Amino acid sequence: MAYVIGKACVDVMDGACVDVCPVDCIYSKPGDNQLFINPEECIDCAACEPVCPENAIFEEDDVPDDQKEFVKINEEYDYDDSEPGHNV
Ligand code: SF4
Ligand code: SF4
């Protein structure tokens, strides 16, 4: 299980979540249109969820039905080609 960044982050990307993540598992690279949570590194601490001004972050089971594709989008992002942090 992991937290997931959904569609409200798209084109916002202010990076508030990055500042509170204790394990640096939120990634981005220049050119991205949102940030991504690496599900293999997320420890489910929930720290990021309340600080997101767009309410874009959900625990995996709570992702709204119309945003379920974001579970896969966060899962399949190329983390090897990106870096932890707010790099957009
Ligand atoms: S739930 Fe915790 S570990 Fe997972 S992305 Fe959010 S702040 Fe980071
Ligand atoms: S705090 Fe929310 S809107 Fe800002 S970068 Fe993180 S997920 Fe995106």
Q: What separation in Å is there between the alpha carbon of 34 and the centre of ligand 2?
A: 8
pLDDT of residue 8: 98
Contact present, 21 and 62 (Cβ < 8 Å)? no
49 pLDDT band, cuts 50/70/90, is very high
pLDDT of residue 27: 98
For ligand 1, say whether the CB of 45 is within 6 Å of any of its atoms: yes
Q: Which domains does the chain have, with CATH numbers?
A: 3-84 (3.30.70.20)
pLDDT of residue 1: 86
Q: Which atom of ligand 2 is nearest to the CA of 8?
A: 3
pLDDT digits (tens, 9 = 90+) for 13-48: 999 999 999 999 999 999 999 999 999 999 999 999
- The reported pTM is 0.98
